[in-house]
């Protein structure tokens, strides 16, 4: 955008109520990093922890919205963050990095805890102890939907 276009946009925003001091203090672009692994539906890592996302808007409101991107509301309520303007590591104090550094305390895949009781299914829910019953119930619903669909497919 050239200087003239920038001034036109600035004038239009001022007419809509934005303060000139706010418009003059727009943040520059910043680099942000993923602080957790991005997984696909099958559980494979798409973007590993520490992947850089260059030239993101540096506005604090935008950074706040991006910090919870890809998280459920329960994870946000528990204090997890995913995309932040500093690199993950031992000096980072976000909950996601703290748990990664100490070996995911509170996260268990112990097969003795919860397991799907559907015949032939070996599903074991992962996540925090609070999340596991919910994930197991959601998984069991997939079995009941599959049974209903199979019963409808069989001619009477």
- pTM (global) more than 0.75: no
Sheet holding 52-57, edge to edge: 52-57, 29-34, 83-84
Domain ranges of the chain: 28-101, 111-156
Is the CB of residue 67 less than 8 Å from the CB of residue 37? no
Among candidate residues 31, 24, 28, 30, the one with its CA nearest the CA of residue 9: 24
Q: What are phi and psi of 131, to 5 degrees?
A: -80, -25
Q: For residue range 5-60, list pLDDT tens digits in order.
A: 778 877 887 777 777 676 666 667 788 898 888 877 777 888 888 999 888 887 77
Among candidate residues 80, 81, 98, the one with its CA nearest the CA of residue 89: 98
């Amino acid at each position: 955008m050239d200087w003239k276009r920038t001034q036109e946009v600035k004038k239009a925003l001022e007419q809509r109520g934005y303060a000139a001091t706010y418009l003059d203090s727009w943040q520059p672009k910043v680099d942000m990093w993923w602080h957790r692994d991005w997984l696909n539906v099958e559980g494979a890592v798409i973007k590993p922890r520490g992947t850089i996302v260059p030239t993101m808007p540096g506005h604090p409101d935008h950074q706040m919205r991006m910090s919870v991107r890809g998280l459920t509301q329960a994870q946000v309520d528990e204090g997890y963050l995913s995309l932040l303007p500093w690199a993950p590591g031992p000096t980072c104090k976000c909950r996601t990095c703290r748990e990664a550094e100490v070996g995911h305390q509170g996260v268990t895949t112990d097969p003795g805890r919860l397991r799907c009781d559907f015949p032939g299914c070996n599903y074991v829910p992962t996540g925090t102890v609070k999340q596991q019953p919910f994930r197991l119930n959601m998984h069991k619903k997939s079995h009941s939907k599959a049974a209903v669909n199979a019963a409808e497919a069989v001619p009477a």
